A and B are shown apart, each in its own frame.
Chain A
Amino acid sequence: TQLLEQSPQFLSIQEGENLTVYCNSSSVFSSLQWYRQEPGEGPVLLVTVVTGGEVKKLKRLTFQFGDARKDSSLHITAAQPGDTGLYLCAGAITTDSWGKLQFGAGTQVVVTP
């Protein structure tokens, strides 16, 4: 059973389009992170959000943490082929367990030229 549900599981879009990936849970998290994973490699951290309602921007990527700290979203503006990858959300239930992350199953994003 996944504590964090990601949707959609797969997303294929054209270059220049926008996309949003969702990460939902019935549990409250002290912090939530987004990672990107390439085939054959380990996850690479994109962002950490810790405050309910927090919004962080990383170039064309916008991350939002829900007010109740149960959900999060990742929005990519004007997607590029280089954005292709598996996007994973991961949460820590308590600050003491910050490294013991609950991962979602991931959203595979494919951006075609």
Chain B
Amino acid sequence: NAGVMQNPRHLVRRRGQEARLRCSPMKGHSHVYWYRQLPEEGLKFMVYLQKENIIDESGMPKERFSAEFPKEGPSILRIQQVVRGDSAAYFCASSPGFGTGELFFGEGSRLTVL
């Protein structure tokens, strides 16, 4: 399956711990987007990255959240000192380039903070 791969699919953390979510885009895709889906709400844009560059992070909370997309390896969304309000489904999407008209979403990582 050459689709967008996210792991872990489910992650449980206690308040104050760190959560790391990984996303491997589709083969040949160099653009990655992270979205968050809270219960009963639509998906919210968080950040847009290209290899080694953050293009748009206007949807990222100012503190505790960071994202990277290194030259080699998956994109990582990192949440430090998690709180219960961080519990959500985090989706990664990829595209082959800018303006290509389609985002391919992964199956998501579901974070539960106890």
**Interface of A with B (CB < 8 Å)?**
2, 4, 31, 35, 40-45, 48, 88, 90, 95, 97-106
B44 touches A95 (CB 8 A): no
| Contact A42 B95, CB 8 Å, known A103-B42, A104-B42 | no
| Contact A103 B44, CB 8 Å, known A42-B91, A42-B108 | yes
Chain B residue total in the interface (Cβ 8 A): 27
B45 touches A95 (CB 8 A): no
| Stretch in contact with the other chain, from B14-22, B61-69, B73-81, B98-106 | B98-106
**Interface of B with A (CB < 8 Å)?**
4, 31, 33, 35, 40-45, 48, 56, 58-59, 91, 93, 95, 98-99, 101-108
CB distance from A44 to the nearest CB of B (A): 7
Bound-complex Cα distance A79 to B65 (A): 42
CB distance from B10 to the nearest CB of A (A): 10
A2 touches B42 (CB 8 A): yes
Bound-complex Cα distance A45 to B4 (A): 14
B106 touches A42 (CB 8 A): yes
CB distance from A66 to the nearest CB of B (A): 19
A99: contacting residue among B40, B41, B48, B91, CB under 8 A: B48
A48 touches B101 (CB 8 A): yes
CB distance from A42 to the nearest CB of B (A): 3
